[in-house]
Amino acid sequence: MAIGDVEPVPNSTDVYYVDTGMYEVEKYGSVFLIDAEKPALIDTGIAADREHVFGMLDEVGVDDLEYILPTHVHLDHAGGAGYLAERYPDATVMTHEIGAPHLVDPTRLVEGTKAAVEDQWRFYDEPLPIDEDRVEPLTDGDEIDLGDRTLTVSHAPGHAPHQVMFHDDGDDVLFVGDAMGIWEPKTETLRQTSPPAQFHLQKALDDVQTVEEIEPETLCFGHFGPHEYTKAFAEEYKRVLVEWVEAIRQKRDELGDDEAVIQHFVEHTQMDEVWGVRKAHDEERLNTRGVLGYLDYVGDDE
């Protein structure tokens, strides 16, 4: 699968995904389309990659999009929402109630994203604000009627307090956003995603427990694509999270300097040949900073 390619989600009915080419890396960013009676788009990708999302909608033959559903408002998942709302003027945009105001006025969201992603901002376009009357807030337990299926909303605040997952009861597909981390298909590994400034380990582990309780047939990752759900797969992500946080805790105790800790994990990344040096280093820097901030927040409580 190459950047811009569209494929169906295995064992599903009319569910598709596109490689958005996020950060100019193959198999890193995906956006999903449910071509239901009332078509819905799950996540939007970075605004700069919107043409690939438009291309998927055109290829599948969706003329009227009913819903635009970011799993959370981080701009790699919601940055294109305003452009999609502009292209599909009858679509309703729905996201968690904490994040919804940031789609109406993305000023603070842009500021926070620039601080979090640093040099990666060069891959972004500024998001477009969305009219308030087109944005509807979601909360845990809400249901979205797509006509021939229903999406059930589950709050998943470990990665970000404004994150939700969508469970498609028709195909038993769970769109997890970043709640199950990053599935890297080339190396077939699960990797942590722990960005600043609101990553929280225990809440992230609780989110995996929510996935286990839903026990879907298929998981759909924002990074990247679909993967069969198993209990062992969920347990693996719990292990990844705990070991990642503990490794940073120990390295901070050893080095006593956060910049040195960040540099250590950047230099020891194993993803250079998969994502390229630039993205691999950016990813390690981002996720290490997120855990350091979390450790500051919990202090001696952890």
Residue 172 zone, left/alpha/beta (φ > 0; ψ -120 to 50; rest): left
Note whether residue 171 is domain-resident.
yes
Note whether residue 198 is domain-resident.
yes
Domain with residue 68: its CATH number is 3.60.15.10
Note whether residue 9 is domain-resident.
yes
Query: What residues have CB less than 8 Å from 259, skipping those under 6 apart?
Result: none
Taking alpha carbons only, the member of 108, 113, 302 closest to residue 200 is 302
3-state secondary structure (DSSP) of residue 195: coil
Confidence at residue 301, expressed as pLDDT on a 0 to 100 scale: 55
Note whether residue 260 is domain-resident.
no
Longest dimension (CA), the chain: 57
Q: What Rg do the C-alpha atoms of the chain give, in angstroms? A: 18
Note whether residue 196 is domain-resident.
yes
Provide the whole-model pTM. 0.96
Note whether residue 55 is domain-resident.
yes
Q: Which helix (H) or strand (E) holds 42?
A: strand 40-42
Domains: count for the chain: 1
* Separation CA 33–CA 161 (nearest Å): 24
pLDDT tens column, 6-38: 999 999 999 999 999 999 999 999 999 999 999
Residue 300 has pLDDT above 80, yes or no: no
Taking alpha carbons only, the member of 139, 42, 144 closest to residue 98 is 139
* Separation CA 71–CA 178 (nearest Å): 8
SS (H, E, C) 80-127: CHHHHHHHCCCCEEEEECCCHHHHHCCHHHHHHHHHHHHHHHHHCCCC
Residue 302 has pLDDT above 70, yes or no: no
Phi/psi of residue 156, nearest 5 degrees: -140, 80
Give the residue numbers spanning the domain of 154: 3-234
Note whether residue 284 is domain-resident.
no
Note whether residue 18 is domain-resident.
yes
* Separation CA 67–CA 180 (nearest Å): 23
CA distance from start to end of the chain: 41
Is residue 86 within 8 A of residue 8, CB to CB? The reply is no
* Separation CA 215–CA 147 (nearest Å): 23
pLDDT tens column, 45-64: 999 999 999 999 999 999 99
* Separation CA 177–CA 196 (nearest Å): 16
pLDDT tens column, 165-210: 999 999 999 999 999 999 999 999 999 999 998 999 999 999 999 9
pLDDT tens column, 216-240: 999 999 999 999 999 999 999 999 9
* Separation CA 78–CA 166 (nearest Å): 15
Residue 161 has pLDDT above 70, yes or no: yes
Is residue 69 within 8 A of residue 41, CB to CB? The reply is yes
Residue 104 has pLDDT above 70, yes or no: yes
Confidence at residue 108, expressed as pLDDT on a 0 to 100 scale: 92
